[in-house]
Every structure is written in structure tokens, then in C-alpha cells.
Homo-oligomer: A and B are copies of this chain.
Amino acid sequence: MSETTTAVEATVRLRGISKTFSNGTTAVSKLNLDLEPGSFVSLLGPSGCGKSTVLRMIAGLIDPSEGEVTGSREAGRIGFVFQEPTLMPWGSALANIRLPLDLAGVKPAEANARARDALAQVGLEGFADAYPRELSGGMRMRVSLARALTTEPDILLLDEPFAALDEITRFKLNNDLLALWQAKRFTAVFVTHSVFESVYLSQRVVVMAARPGRVSDDLAIETDLARGEEFRTSADYAQLCRRASEALERAMAS
């Protein structure tokens, strides 16, 4: 891949990363991955292949047992949508979304306004005061997404953010995410199980294989079409999806 020049920030580099948990499970083994600033990369792979573990290492939440992660800490602000909603049960939806803003010292009035915007963006206008336990599974995940979006991160890590959503909401949020990315050009790492989604969203699809987790394929998604309905119905898209599907099948067979 060629170096893009849009970025001022450093490339996130994972070099010979392995992770063995204290119970002996090796989740990731000798993984190399470079994430260029401003790129949108999808991680695709079977359940349990170490995708979440890789994201956590990029974010610096866990340390690799071997190898080194560079560039992510220097990059600035990191946003993370965990695989589980990870909401504070004692806070309303709005309070949960406001959290990163509050932590960053944003003024209450502004924080409220921004949080309400984010809430509207994920289609939850009426639920600002609802507590997490009063929300459906998909709604909780959307609150979690909204929380990550308010932060205007430099690196955004998304761990299956749309898995619990219906296709129409999902399409809408896909487009919203894409628009946001195009506007802000943060580095995005997107874990998904949907081949279609990965192709639709990203510039590059990294396919992982399991036991131990490693990179098995790395597909560039090159198209001249602007992302959108046009792309989704194009022959390019269908072909790219087919290639990604095959890569996934290879990864699972290996």
C-alpha cells in the first residue's frame, strides 16, 4: 500500500503482536498490521479469532505479550464502541452519552446540546432520560455508538456496533458513519461479521483467521464510485463482496 499524504498523525503500527491470556489461551499470534492515518479498515473474521483483542491492544487497554503497538497513543483521542454497550446503569441515556464530554471538561450546556444531537442521530430522540435497563438491546448499542461519536476522536474503534440493529437502521447508520468519516477523516477500525458492510464502508478489509488469531488476507477495496446507494448496487460492489466472502471462507478453512 502507498502512504497517503492527508494525515498529520502517525501511522498505527502493530508489529509481531502476540497475546496469551493468563489462563493460557493464545488469542493473537505474531500479527502485523499498519493503519494509515485517516484510513477506514474493517476487521473480518470468525467468532473468537481475536478481533476484539486486537482492538483492545490498539487502544492500549491491554498490553501485547509480545511485540509492540506504536502510534495509537500519540495519535490523540481514541473513541471505542465496545462489543457490549457498556453503559453506566445509574445514568440516563443522555448522561451516558455526555460522559466523554464531561470527562473532557466540556461545558454542561454545550455537552448537553452535543449529546442530544448524537442521540437524535441514532434515532433515540425521545429516550434522553431513559435508563439503560429501560432500553432495548439495539437501543443500548445505539447509545453506546452515540457516545463514541460525540467525542470527535482521531482514532475510532468500532466492535460490531451494528450487530444488534435491523437492516434499515443499520444502513442509515452506515451512511452516517461514512459521512462523518469523510468529513473528519479519523482513522477507523471497524469489526463486523457482515461482509457486505465491511466492503461498503471500508477502504481495506483485513480478514483474520482463528486459533491463533492472525491476519489471513488483506483486501484493498478500490472503487471509483462514491460510497452510497450507487455503490451498493454496483457490479464492483458485488464482486468485492464475493472476494471478501471467499477470503473469509479461506480464513475459516485454514
Contact = CB atoms under 8 A, between A and B. Distances in A.
Interface in A104-141: 123, 130, 134-139
A248 B166 contact: yes
A177 interface: no
A249 B168 CA distance: 7
A195 interface: yes
| Copies of the protein in its oligomer | 2
A233 interface: no
Given A23-B134, A130-B23, A167 B248 contact: yes
Nearest to A53: B136
A164 B130 contact: no
A135 B25 CA distance: 10
Contacts of A137: 47, 52, 83-84, 159-160
Contact of A193 (B44, B134, B166): B166
Nearest to A139: B48
14 contacts: A21-B134, A47-B136, A47-B138, A48-B136, A48-B138, A48-B139, A51-B136, A83-B137, A83-B164, A160-B164, A164-B193, A166-B252, A167-B194, A170-B193
Interface of A: 21, 23, 25, 44-48, 51-52, 83-84, 123, 130, 134-139, 142, 159-160, 163-170, 193-195, 245, 248-249, 252
